[in-house]
């Protein structure tokens, strides 16, 4: 582990690394379903912040894991994230036409192909974990399955759809986003930590607290940027949440209070890392990036 690298260099190296892992896992388009393979690659490669992969790599450093042992976890969480975006953008969900600065998967390939691409990306994520260098692939698969399923991301999306047109109390809003956005972020951190020597329960608890606060901060900042950003910088349609009547932190708190809340969550995330030690440097930098980002 090179802890002398600047954040920009470290994060770029990890982004390139996970992109290579994803490219290898997806393989070139070919028979028997070349168009499906092309849609999967289109939805996954060449875009995105890779924040979930970065979280996995950063958590791996906390436990002294070799970077190669984290590759499968980093790729798996990005595959799940890519599948969720493909499905979220479908007309039956958020009905969006722009993602990562290009037409959404269903716009480019049709709704049926996009649906299948999302299904196949989800399956590939678990294959990546099962074939990876993790010490306990079965445990890793359980962590990811819980984060992606009805008690995690999918459940949060269901709550989100049911809440359209309503202003949720802050407690309900946080519960929704701890599932929809936060569950996969927590899984990324947990999987990275499980890639090294067996971590102490207290360390896993501290990392989970960090991930909980960081995941919520990520969503709050997303809500702020949806109001305060533009499609060019965001790479997706700006103002979509307000137009669809979705419950957001900005709608509940206002823009300034939402920004303040994001900063408070960042402080709580950093405080959770106090007992982790110097190995948490990259997680601290990620907490800063999550809250201070402009896209």
Give Dmax (Cα) for the chain. Answer: 53
Residues pairing with 98 in the sheet: 103
Q: Which pLDDT does position 177 carry in this prediction?
A: 94
Q: Are 241 and 252 in contact (CB under 8 A)?
A: no
Q: Average pLDDT for residues 69-86, to the nearest whole number?
A: 97
Q: Is residue 295 part of a domain?
A: no
Residue 239 has pLDDT above 80, yes or no: no
Residue 1 lies in a domain: no
Which CATH number goes with the domain that contains 211? 1.10.600.10
Domain membership of residue 2 (yes or no) is no
Q: What pLDDT score does 199 carry?
A: 86
Instruction: Decide: 174 and 44 in contact? Cβ < 8 Å.
Output: no
> Residue 102 forms beta bridges with which residues?
99
In terms of residue numbers, what domain contains 184? 7-290
DSSP-based three-state secondary structure for 192: helix
| Residue in this structure with the two tokens 């196949």, named with its chain if needed | 120
Inside any domain, residue 177: yes
The answer to whether the beta carbons of residues 143 and 176 sit under 8 Å apart is no
Q: How confident is the model at residue 77 (pLDDT cuts 50, 70, 90)?
A: very high
DSSP helix/strand/coil, 103: strand
| Least confident window among 112-121, 164-173, 226-235, 286-295 | 226-235
Per-residue model confidence (pLDDT) at position 2: 59
Helix (H) or strand (E) holding 99: strand 98-99
For residue 206, being part of any structural domain is answered with yes
Q: Which residue from 192, 180, 177, 186 is spatially nearest to 209, judged by alpha carbons?
A: 186
For the segment 60-69, the average pLDDT, to the nearest whole number, is 94
Q: Whole-model pTM above 0.85?
A: yes
56 domain-assigned: yes
Domain count, the chain: 1
Tokens in use for 213? 């606060």
Is the previous residue joined to 32 through a cis bond, with omega within 30 degrees of 0?
yes
Is residue 253 within 8 Å of residue 261, measured between CB atoms?
yes
- What's the count of helices (H) and strands (E) in the chain, helices before strands? 16, 2
Dihedral pair phi/psi, residue 181, rounded to 5°: -105, -45
Let me know if residue 87 belongs to a domain. Answer: yes
Residue 34 lies in a domain: yes
User: DSSP secondary-structure letter at 32?
Assistant: T
């Amino acid at each position: 582990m090179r802890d002398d690298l600047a954040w920009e260099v470290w994060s770029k190296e990890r982004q390139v690394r996970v992109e290579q892992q994803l490219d290898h896992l997806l393989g070139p388009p070919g028979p028997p379903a070349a168009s499906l393979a092309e849609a999967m690659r289109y939805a996954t490669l060449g875009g995105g912040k890779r924040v979930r992969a970065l979280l996995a790599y950063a958590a791996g450093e906390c436990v002294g894991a070799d970077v190669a042992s984290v590759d499968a976890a980093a790729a798996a969480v990005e595959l799940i994230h890519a599948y969720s975006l493909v499905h979220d953008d479908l007309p039956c969900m958020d009905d969006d036409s722009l993602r990562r600065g290009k037409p959404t998967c269903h716009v480019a390939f049709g709704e049926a192909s996009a649906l299948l691409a999302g299904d196949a990306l989800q399956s590939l994520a678990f294959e990546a974990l099962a074939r990876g260098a993790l010490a306990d692939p079965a445990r890793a698969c359980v962590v990811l399955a819980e984060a992606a399923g009805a008690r995690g991301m999918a459940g949060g999306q269901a709550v989100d759809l049911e809440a359209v047109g309503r202003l949720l109390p802050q407690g309900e809003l946080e519960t929704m986003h701890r599932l929809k956005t936060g569950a996969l972020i927590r899984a990324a951190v947990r999987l990275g930590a499980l890639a090294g020597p067996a971590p102490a329960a207290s360390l896993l608890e501290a990392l989970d607290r960090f991930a909980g606060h960081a995941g919520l901060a990520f969503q709050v900042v997303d809500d702020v940027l949806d109001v305060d950003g533009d499609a060019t910088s965001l790479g997706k349609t700006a103002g979509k949440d307000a137009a669809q009547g979705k419950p957001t932190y900005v709608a509940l708190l206002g823009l300034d209070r939402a920004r303040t809340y994001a900063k408070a969550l960042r402080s709580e995330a950093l405080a959770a890392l106090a007992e982790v030690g110097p190995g948490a440097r990259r997680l601290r930098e990620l907490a800063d990036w999550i809250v201070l980002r402009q896209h």
